[in-house]
Structure formats: structure tokens, C-alpha cells
Chain A
Amino acid sequence: MLLASLILVPFLGSVLAALMPQDARNRESWLAIAVAVCGLLIALALFPKIAGGEVLREEFAWLPAQGLFFVLRIDGLAWVFTMLVLAIGLLVVLYARYYMSPEDPVPRFFSFLLAFMGSMLGVVLSGNLVQLVVFWELTSLTSFLLIGYWHHRADARRGARMAFTVTATGGLCLMAGVLVLGHIVGSYDLDTVLAAGDRIRGHDLYLTALVLIALGALTKSAQFPFHFWLPHAMAAPTPVSSYLHSATMVKAGVFLLVRLWPALAGTEEWTWIVGGAGVCTLLLGAFIAIFQHDLKGLLAYSTISHLGLITVLIGIGTPLAMVAAIFHILNHATFKASLFMAAGIIDHESGTRDLRVLRGLRHKLPVTATLAIVASAAMAGVPLLNGFLSKEMFFAETLHVGGDRNWWMSYAAVAMGMFSVAYSLRFISIFFGTPAQDLPRDPHEPPRWMRFPVELLVLACLVVGIAPGISIEPVLNIAVHAVLGSAAPDYDLALWHGLNLPLLMSVAALVGGVLLYVVLRRHFGLQQRERVPLIHRLNGAQAYETTMLQLTRAAEWLLRRVGTRRLQPQLLLIMAALLVIPLLLAGAPPAWTSIALQDFDPLFAGIWAIGAGCAVAGAWMAKYHRLAALALIGGTGIVTAATFLWLSAPDLALTQLMVETVTTVLILLGLRWLPPRLESIAAAPQPPYRVWLRRARDLTIATGGGLALAALTYAVLVHPASDTIADFFLLNALGGGGGSNVVNVLLVDFRSFDTLGEITVLSIVALTVYALLRRFRPAPESAGIPPQQRFEADPASRQSPAEQADSGYLQVAGIYLRLLLPFMGVIAVYFFMRGHNLPGGGFVAGLIFAVAILVQYMLAGTAWVESHVHLRPHRWLGVGLLLSCATGLGAWVFGHPFLTTHTAHVDWPLVGELHLPSAFVFDLGVFAVVVGTTMLMLVALAHQSLRAHRQPGEELAEGGVELADGRATRWN
């Protein structure tokens, strides 16, 4: 659990941080500090074991059936990275406490930062590659949120989007690469993969895996040609930059390369892909950095360049190069984090980050200036500082590349060294010269504790630079041995190795860099130059924007071609496909065996003559008379229900009958919003030829479809049924399910999971309908009161619906229908109670109950009903779903699978023995959901008529409607 808590504590802290109030700056920082300290203590407690070369693992079952385990694994490399993430994290949260202004919503900031810390630790500690990718993408996501923290700023949004697109796409490549790797090795376990290096390198898919994984790592570490996102990510608050872009996020890429070095490295391809990208990045980044005018922009490009340096070392891939790479990762994290923080202090204090404006700051910020100058000297590789040591190791390694003749790598290294001296000089130039007078703010030294992290980091630079042997070497050793194992070389971190070639290169770089800076400044107007010379056309961000634009265009093109804004052709296509595709797929029919058919019944044929006649007439009338068409189609529905009853399906018949009723009412409510028939079409004397052609085509498809389904049905019906699972249900319904109505037992017991899904769908549809109707705007001409209700001679037009039912022309109906309400309620209860053994059940009972209420609505109007009963359909939905779910979950309490039913036999006085299956409670949930759904949809639709009267310019109707409006606001 110790390793798991390393990851869990930051995530828990993230949740806690999110829950704090907006202005809790101090509490937030204390929380974050506590999280980081807690992590550091855990990591330190592990040190003795790690130093002994142990690899600690913790496993949790994830998808054991697929051989996937959630594995946490810590070895020397992971330990060093964990310390780095936590230590820099601690300093950053301390710094952020002073950096963030009181107006910033700090809970969001600290919550994201801690979540990022957790994801980063997840990447570092993953012992399973798939799990590593998950945390990898989590770091992309959290860094997106952090970069876009000031989301009111367009550049922050753009930068965040760019960073996320690039790194998350890379993450997808990494995912693919990991899957390939898993395929080669047969396992995703890191230890297994690392041990299978020879097999991986010898496999046909090696190159595929390498390219994909390299894409993931290079995008994350901002390597050429994906480097462009990093400068744009500088729109983030400075603590974020100093955390993500010095020590963590961008280091994840190089971490992965180091991590997989034993498995993937040692081939030509590795050197060319990783090393090649690194060389381009290191030169480009360093060169562009010289010409930046933004402090953070300069640091961003310098970061790119230093990451390039690390990548080159990994690409070279010799054991000594790996030592240098890991060493430089640590060194760069120290000096770059402090530089970012210093830049943040300067920005914070002077109000600008523009190198063209900032001058002479050492007078106002003496301490910060000293710290920044030392840190940038480390960045430039000045002796006595940590940057010098790893850079010299880098120079030494480049000498080995390409044998004795080929010196290009060494030239590139020296050039990069010169550039980095030049941009470091550019950076520290802000501290010298006459103090600038036109700064937005008069700079002062920052608060004591804001500067403290910088001081600590700069001290680390110095200590490592002067006494590497006793400060960093033990730590470095642990990481190196974890990666290289027995291949770990002997090396000596010392300041002085004698007069050798690397030292000469260092001196050349230093002198050359100073000269370069002076020349650029004196003769090329470095201070005011707008563009980077020579390579300003090489604009990655522009390429990215162009790509995104092209993608959008391509999507639009595809939508135009494949999708259609017109539904009619699509429907035609679907219908035609419905007809043709089964014909193509169907094989020869099975052998014709005669079975005993049911006798021809003239009565059955008679009702279907009516049913089919209704269907055809309805199809005809749908154009001319909507109400008549609805009635006719209802006729077909009734005949369908009768057929169910006839053919031994009483449950279906009941359900169909109730659904029929409710559907008809529903559509009747909707009819009011449809337009009158278009006079232009109705008045046309003779439809044109095209119309006839279209109708003939549709008629052919319709006839074809009808005939095909009829033939298919007949063919099935005259064949004997094959063995189905029906027998099982019939035999076990009473014994196993405790009910004799097999259909109901099927619904609430055997297949109750299905039913649970169904009632969920019902609830979703009901809520969707409700939500859609909230935004509903009727067409202007159907918004007013319909003409039938405005007929002056009719006394009913001056009455509210309630008055009509109380004393108007609906008085007789009113008395009877109100009397009916309790009876219908009892009938609903009756059908519900008997459902398990006889036709009935939750669906039917729910529909009956809903109809009982509906009748009251239809009689006396919305206002009257809602002033008498509070229905709250949403609660019915919620309670129903909860009941059904709780019944299912209840089975877990007794150690059974989800939704297992249990039948209790209870002896009741007077009534006798009662069977009470838990499915009964489940069915009660179904009942509540059906009632809620039906009521919610119908009542929401009914309320539209009330809202429509409130159209502007429309005179308000009488008191009844106004009352109704008052009620309606609760609904809207």
C-alpha cells in the first residue's frame, strides 16, 4: 500500500482542494505542501531498500481475465524521478502561494496541480505499460487544464488546446506502440518487457513499435518537429510552467525513453530516430531562444534545446551517454525550475516579461538578480555549476559518435553550447545597464518565502557543481544501476578531468558564445529584431493551425458528401436497403416440413380485414385528415391487441391496449402544433408528372416490402420451431422465479437486467422530451388560442376547463370521470399485485395508473388537476430507478450476483400464506418509472398549450389561464 498511497495521496488532495472556498489561498497551499511532504517522506522511507538495488512491486487485480494487473513498481530510476516530482512540486506550491493573486480561483489551481502530480507519479511508478499510457494521458489532460487555467485569455486557451492536441495524439501513438510491444512480448508487464530486449529488437514489428513509442515520447518532450507547443504553453501561470516545463511533464518523454532503453535501444533505427530528432531540436531550440523577446519564451526554447540534448544522449545510447542523460535531466530540472520562478518574480514585480523593456533590475532586485545570474550560468554550462558537468559529459559523448573522421556531431554540440551561452547572456542582460523607467510597476524584492524555492534550487546547482562526488553521485548511481544493470559503467563525476578535448570544447563554446552575443547585439540589432533570422519560416505553430484548419475543412467536405441535411432521401435509402440487403444475405430456405397449422378462423380473418383496412385507409388519410388518420391507425392498434389476446399473449394484449391509449392522447396533444395543409399543394389541379413517378416508386417499395415481410412470416410459421430456451423458462418460472405468469417472471426475474436497462431508457427519453420541450418555441401561427375555443356563441369559450367540467357542458362526464379515478387506481393496484401469477405486472399497472390521471387532465384541464394533486413525475422516475437498482444491489448483500431474486413465504393473518419475491419490489420500481415517464411526457406536452398563450402581443385569456400560467412556471 505504500506505493499506492504515493499516487492516491495527491489525487485525494486534489479532491479536497477542489472542495475548498475560493479565497482559501493559505489553506490550499498548506494542503498541497502536506501532500508533497507526505509523498517525500514515503519516498525517503523507501530509500534504504532502493539503495540496496531492490525493485519493489505492488499488484492489484485490474482485468485479471485479460492478464492485466495494476502494477506499481519502484526501482532506482523511478525513485529518483519520484523525488524530483515531489521535491520540485513542494517548492512550486510554496512559490505559487505568493504568485497567485487573491482574485484567482485557487481551488481549481491547486486541485489541478495535485491531480497532475498524481498522474505524473503514476507514469513514473507504473509497472504495466498500458497503465503507464493511462497515466500518461492523464498528465496530458491535467496539463491542458493547468495551461488553460486563465481561460478568459485567448492565448491560454489556444496554448492549452495546442499542447493537448499534440501530446494526446502522441499518447495515442504511444498506446498503439505499447500494444505492439505487448504483442511482441506477450505481456504488458514492465519487468517482462525490459527482460525481452533481444526478442523485441529481432522481431519484424520492432520498427513499428519503435516509431510509435518514439512519437509518443517526442511529442511529450517537445522534440522537433513537435516542439512548437511548448512556447505556446507559456501562457500558463508561471508556477505551472516551472513545474510542468522544467521537471515533470516534458521530462515524461525522456523518462519513457530511458525507461525503455533496455528493451528498445542499441539499434541503428533507435540512434537515427531518437538521436536525429534530438540533434535538430537542440540546435533549433538554442538558436531560436537567442531571438526571443519574452522571458518565458526564451526559457521555453532553451528547455526545448536542453531536452534535445538529453534526447541526443539517449539516442547515442552508450552506457556513459545514459549516465549523462539522467544527470542532465536532474540538472536541467534544478536550474530551469529556478529560472522559471525567477522569471515569474520579475514578471510579478515589474509587470512585464519583455526583454526589450527590462533593464538594470539588479538595482531593484539584487538578490533575485544574483540567483538568476547563477542559475543562467548553470544553464550556459559555466564551470563550478551543475550544468557544466553534464554538458561536458555530453561533449565527451559526442566525440565518440561517427568514429575518428566524422566530427559533425561535435560541431553541432559546440554550436549548441555557443547558442546557449548567448541566450543565457541575453537573459541576464536584463539585470544590467541603467534601470528602466517605463516599467508598468516599480519592482521590489518579493516576499521572503516566494524567493526561498529559488534560493534552494540555486544552492543545489552550486553544491552539485562544486562537489558532485558527495552530493549527487550516490543518487545518480541508484538510477543508473536501475537502468543499465550490469552494463553500468564506471564513471567519475569530478570538476577537473585534466586538460582534454571536452574541456576545450567547453571553453570554445563559452568564448564563442560571448563573441556571438556581442556581435549579434552590436551589429544585428538583437534587442529589437522581430524575426528569427534564417529559419523564421520554419513555423511549427503555423503548420499546426493549417493542419487543424485542413482537418476541419475535410470534415465539412465529408459531411457534405456522406451526410445529408435532407431526411427524405435517407429514409428512401434505408427502406430500399431494408428490402434489398436481406434478399442478398438470405440463403436457401430450410427443407419444407409440414406441421399442424391452426385452423382458418373467419372471425380472425374478419378482424384483420378491419385492421388492414384501417392501416391502408390511415395511410391514405394521413395526408388529408390527421385526426381521422390517427383514429384509423388506432384501429389497427386495437386489432393488434386483439390478435395478441387471441394468440395466447394476454400480457401483450393488455400492454398494447394501454400503450395505444396513451400514444393516441400524446399525438392528439401534438396535433395542435402542426400547420394547416398547404393551400398551394391542395389547390394544384393536377400533380405534375414527377410527383406521379415518385409515388409509383414509393408504392413499389411499399408493396415489395409488405410482400416480402408477409412471405417471410408465412415461411417461418409453416416451419416447426427449433429448440429454444423457452422450455427452460416455462419449467423454472414457478419453481425458480416463484410466479406462474412466465412472461412477467421473465421480465422481472430471468431477464431483469434487460428490464432495468429498459426502464433506464424510458427515464432518459422522458427527461429528454421534458428538456426539449423547455426550449420549445411554437410556430407563430399556432401559438394563439385555436379558433374553436374562440367561438363567441359557445358559452364554453368563456369558461375555464375546470368550470366546464364543474358546471358547463362537461358536467355529466365530469361527475362520472371523477368517480372513475379511485376505481382505476384500484384496478392498477389489482393488475400490479397479480402480475407475477396472472396477466398484469408493473408495465401494465403503470400505464393504467397514468391513464387514470390523464383522464382527469383531459377533463378539467392542467390547472385544476395540479391545484389538487402534486404529481412530481421526476420523483416517480427517480424513486422507481432507485427501487429497481436497490433490489438488484440487495442481492450483493447476501453474496449473490446482481439482481438475484429471493422469494419470501410469509403467513399473514386472514389472508393466508403469501409469496413475496424480491422481484415484486423490482416490479414496483418498473411501475413507478412507467408512471413517471408517461406523466412527465404527457404533462410536459400539455403545458405547452398554457405557455403558448403568453406570446408577446397576445391578449391574456381569462383568470383560469392566468392561474394555469402561475402553475406553469414551476414547470418551465
Chain B
Amino acid sequence: MELTLALAIGVVFGAGIWLVLRPRTFQLITGLLLMSYAVNLFIFAMGRLWVDKPPITPTPDIDPAQFADPLPQALVLTAIVIGFATTALYLVMMIGARGLSGSDHVDGEEPRE
């Protein structure tokens, strides 16, 4: 499990970096999406992996060791929503830049080579 998740995060992150380094704005936005998946999973994994132990406490007196760590979950939840907002902002910048500069190159102009 641990190894699977670690590898998966690595692959998604690598694909994200590759895309972020590409010249087209659409590639950049997809790269950022992939990177945010990887980073969210990474932060989430800081609470270690728990199967079938969601942090839902039926009674006040419980053994905390029997539940998944809720803190990274709460952090990642906010991260997902904020990520959505920044993606939207980036998207608008992307189409706005394309309308202004006439190019979908990240630099706002086609390379001169």
C-alpha cells in the first residue's frame, strides 16, 4: 500500500512538472492540476495510511489511536477548495492573455526561433 501510493504520487507529480515546463498555457493549467493532486495526496499521507478508520467518533470516550488523523484531512479539504478557486483564476488569466496577446504561449508571444 505505502509503496503503491508513494509511487503513484511520484508519477503524478512528475507528469505535473513536465507539463508545467511546457510552453502552452493549457499544458500549464493541466500540469498545475496534476501537481495539486500529488501535493494533496502527499499532505494527506502525512497522517499515515488508515483503512476503514474514518475520523468519525461515535462516543466521546474513545481511543484516539483507532482513528485516522483528522488534521491533514481538514487541511487537504481546504486545499482542494482553494485549489479549485486558483484554477478558475488561472483559467481566466489564460483566456484573457490569449485574447490580449493573440497567443497561447506562456510568455505571451511565440518564441522567436
Kindly provide the distance from the CB of A629 to the nearest chain B CB, expressed in whole angstroms.
6
Bound Cα distance A630, B29 (Å): 10
Q: Known A650-B54, A778-B99; judge A598-B33 contact (CB<8 A).
A: no
> Is A726 a contact of B64 with CB atoms below 8 Å?
yes
> Is A766 a contact of B91 with CB atoms below 8 Å?
no
Kindly provide the distance from the CB of B91 to the nearest chain A CB, expressed in whole angstroms.
5
> Is B5 a contact of A648 with CB atoms below 8 Å?
no
A contacts with B: majority SS = helix
Report if A656 contacts B (CB, 8 A).
Answer: yes
> Is A670 a contact of B106 with CB atoms below 8 Å?
no
Which residues from chain B contact A673 at a C-beta distance below 8 Å? 95, 98-99
Q: Known A765-B86, A772-B92; judge A713-B77 contact (CB<8 A).
A: no
Kindly provide the distance from the CB of B101 to the nearest chain A CB, expressed in whole angstroms.
9
Against B, the Cβ 8 Å flags (1 = close, 0 = not) of A607-635 are 01001100110110011001001100100
Kindly provide the distance from the CB of A737 to the nearest chain B CB, expressed in whole angstroms.
10
Query: Which residue in A572, A666, A716 is a CB contact (below 8 Å) of B87?
Result: A666
> Is B80 a contact of A655 with CB atoms below 8 Å?
yes
Q: Known A601-B1, A618-B30, A649-B73; judge A721-B47 contact (CB<8 A).
A: yes
Chain B residue nearest to A566 in the complex (CB):
B107
> Is B7 a contact of A710 with CB atoms below 8 Å?
yes
Which residues from chain B contact A735 at a C-beta distance below 8 Å? 60
Q: Known A597-B1, A600-B4; judge A713-B9 contact (CB<8 A).
A: yes
> Is B57 a contact of A733 with CB atoms below 8 Å?
yes
> Is A743 a contact of B8 with CB atoms below 8 Å?
no
Which residues from chain B contact A622 at a C-beta distance below 8 Å? 19, 22, 24, 26-27, 30-31
B contacts with A: majority SS = helix
Q: Known A636-B34, A726-B70, A769-B88; judge A604-B54 contact (CB<8 A).
A: no
> Is B27 a contact of A729 with CB atoms below 8 Å?
no
> Is A565 a contact of B4 with CB atoms below 8 Å?
no
CB contact list, A648-672 vs B, under 8 A:
648-652, 655-656, 659, 662-663, 666-667, 670-671
Against B, the Cβ 8 Å flags (1 = close, 0 = not) of A714-736 are 10111001001111011101110
> Is B15 a contact of A730 with CB atoms below 8 Å?
no
Please report the number of residue pairs spanning A and B whose Cβ atoms sit closer than 8 angstroms: 314
Query: Which residue in A568, A666, A714, A778 is a CB contact (below 8 Å) of B91?
Result: A666
Kindly provide the distance from the CB of B69 to the nearest chain A CB, expressed in whole angstroms.
4
Bound Cα distance A678, B102 (Å): 12
Query: Which residue in A604, A666, A730 is a CB contact (below 8 Å) of B57?
Result: A730
Interface size class of A (residues with CB under 8 A): 35 or more
Query: Which residue in B5, B29, B52, B80 is a CB contact (below 8 Å) of A717?
Result: B5
Q: Known A717-B45, A765-B86; judge A743-B15 contact (CB<8 A).
A: no
> Is B42 a contact of A648 with CB atoms below 8 Å?
no
Which residues from chain B contact A815 at a C-beta distance below 8 Å? none
Against A, the Cβ 8 Å flags (1 = close, 0 = not) of B94-113 are 11101110111011101001
Interface size class of B (residues with CB under 8 A): 35 or more
Query: Which residue in A648, A707, A717, A742 is a CB contact (below 8 Å) of B51?
Result: A648
> Is B50 a contact of A615 with CB atoms below 8 Å?
no
Which residues from chain A contact B38 at a C-beta distance below 8 Å? 709
Which residues from chain B contact A743 at a C-beta distance below 8 Å? 55, 70, 73-74, 77
Which residues from chain B contact A647 at a C-beta distance below 8 Å? 44, 49-51, 68
> Is B12 a contact of A615 with CB atoms below 8 Å?
yes
Bound Cα distance A727, B92 (Å): 42
Q: Known A647-B68, A747-B74; judge A709-B42 contact (CB<8 A).
A: yes
> Is B1 a contact of A643 with CB atoms below 8 Å?
no
Report if A490 contacts B (CB, 8 A).
Answer: no
Report if A799 contacts B (CB, 8 A).
Answer: no
Report if A532 contacts B (CB, 8 A).
Answer: no
Against B, the Cβ 8 Å flags (1 = close, 0 = not) of A155-175 are 000000000000000000000
Which residues from chain A contact B10 at a C-beta distance below 8 Å? 706-711, 713
Which residues from chain B contact A747 at a C-beta distance below 8 Å? 74, 77-78
Q: Known A647-B44, A724-B69; judge A711-B6 contact (CB<8 A).
A: yes
Which residues from chain B contact A205 at a C-beta distance below 8 Å? none
Which residues from chain A contact B33 at a C-beta distance below 8 Å? 633, 637, 663
Chain B residue nearest to A647 in the complex (CB):
B49
Chain B residue nearest to A934 in the complex (CB):
B84
Bound Cα distance A604, B31 (Å): 24
Bound Cα distance A747, B55 (Å): 13
Which residues from chain B contact A541 at a C-beta distance below 8 Å? none
From A74-82, A121-129, A289-297, A753-761, the one touching the partner chain is A753-761
Kindly provide the distance from the CB of A661 to the nearest chain B CB, expressed in whole angstroms.
10
Q: Known A612-B11, A647-B68, A721-B69; judge A779-B98 contact (CB<8 A).
A: yes
> Is B93 a contact of A742 with CB atoms below 8 Å?
no
> Is B95 a contact of A758 with CB atoms below 8 Å?
no
Bound Cα distance A8, B64 (Å): 56
> Is B13 a contact of A709 with CB atoms below 8 Å?
yes
CB contact list, B12-68 vs A, under 8 A:
12-31, 33-34, 37-38, 40-42, 44-60, 62, 64, 67-68
Q: Known A713-B10, A721-B47; judge A648-B54 contact (CB<8 A).
A: yes
> Is A843 a contact of B96 with CB atoms below 8 Å?
no
Which residues from chain B contact A675 at a C-beta distance below 8 Å? 98, 103-104
Which residues from chain B contact A731 at a C-beta distance below 8 Å? 60, 62, 64
Which residues from chain A contact B9 at a C-beta distance below 8 Å? 709-710, 713
Chain A residue nearest to B55 in the complex (CB):
A742
Kindly provide the distance from the CB of A605 to the nearest chain B CB, expressed in whole angstroms.
5
> Is A768 a contact of B89 with CB atoms below 8 Å?
yes
Report if A477 contacts B (CB, 8 A).
Answer: no
Report if A401 contacts B (CB, 8 A).
Answer: no
Q: Known A568-B106, A618-B15, A636-B37; judge A762-B81 contact (CB<8 A).
A: yes
Report if A352 contacts B (CB, 8 A).
Answer: no
Which residues from chain B contact A616 at a C-beta distance below 8 Å? 11, 15
Which residues from chain B contact A640 at a C-beta distance below 8 Å? 37, 40-41
> Is A600 a contact of B44 with CB atoms below 8 Å?
no
Which residues from chain B contact A718 at a C-beta distance below 8 Å? 2
13 contacts between A and B (CB under 8 A): A568-B106, A575-B17, A605-B4, A612-B11, A615-B34, A649-B54, A656-B80, A675-B104, A707-B10, A712-B42, A726-B71, A742-B67, A773-B92
A698-B21, A713-B42, A730-B62 are known contacts; what are 16 more A-B pairs with Cβ within 8 Å?
A568-B107, A575-B21, A655-B80, A656-B40, A674-B25, A699-B18, A706-B10, A712-B42, A716-B46, A730-B55, A730-B64, A731-B64, A741-B55, A741-B56, A746-B71, A775-B96
Top 9 closest pairs, chain A to chain B, by CB: A706-B14, A710-B10, A598-B1, A714-B6, A702-B18, A648-B68, A612-B11, A727-B64, A673-B95
